[in-house]
Amino acid sequence: MKKGACAFLVLLACFPAWSLDWNLPVFTVRYEVAGGASEDPDSDTLESSSLRNTVTLRVKEEADPATFGLAFTMSAKDYYHESGDYSYFKVEHDASLRVSQPWKLGYALGAKWIRYPELDSQGLSKDALSLNVAGTTAVRLGAGSSLEAGMSGRFLLAENPADAKQAYGGSAGVSTRMGDWLFAARYRGELRFPLGTAAPAGMDMYHVGSVSLQWDPN
């Protein structure tokens, strides 16, 4: 009886997804290389100090009124003259749903595995696992104008309790069209705390603000 009920619930949950009008998925592959340089105090010249390679594969699929995304990222950074090399593998899933003509809701889930080849000063591994969750809301205010807001949480788990952290953030943005121009202003803030009683006490904040002006005659 219990098995039959579970199977029925699974089929009931999947039925709305089956009934959507699915489009063909869109695949995006991106490769990024970034190099750093530091100044040599003896010769007053710049010399290469680091190199980072990043590859991302993203799959996006739309089934009106929903949009789904899944991304995989691999990255590695090497320092030439100092320690601190690291690499990571990240998986991200996001989705959005238009619940009415002006309103759209979304969420994002992610996991990031970070690896360091060297141990820390206490002989413990510096490897960490970062778990992320976020929710977003967007409302269309009028023709060419929209308002967005979101909240997020990030939890960094590490072998050394002193490196464990938690962070909570909020974001807000507004965009509006003025003829052929699209103006946008956005803000994002994050409050960071230690995670667990073994981590040292203290907190810090991070703020980012941006404005953009885009010409789009279409």
Taking residue 104's Cβ as centre, other Cβ atoms within 10 Å add up to: 20
Q: Give the CATH number of the domain where residue 198 resides.
A: 2.40.160
**Helix extents (H) in the chain:** 2-19
Question: Can you spell out the DSSP letters for 78-95?
Answer: EESSSS--EEEEEEEEEE
134: pLDDT strictly greater than 90: yes
Cα separation, 21 vs 61, in Å, equals 11
Question: How many domains does the chain fold into?
Answer: 1
Q: Which residue has the higher pLDDT, 121 or 58?
A: 58
What pLDDT score was predicted for residue 49? 87
What pLDDT score was predicted for residue 137? 96
For residues 15-24, give the mean pLDDT.
62
For residues 172-179, give the mean pLDDT.
92
Structural domain boundaries enclosing 20: 2-215
pTM: 0.75
Cα separation, 171 vs 134, in Å, equals 10
Cα separation, 111 vs 64, in Å, equals 27
Q: Which residue has the higher pLDDT, 42 or 28?
A: 28
For residues 63-79, give the mean pLDDT.
93
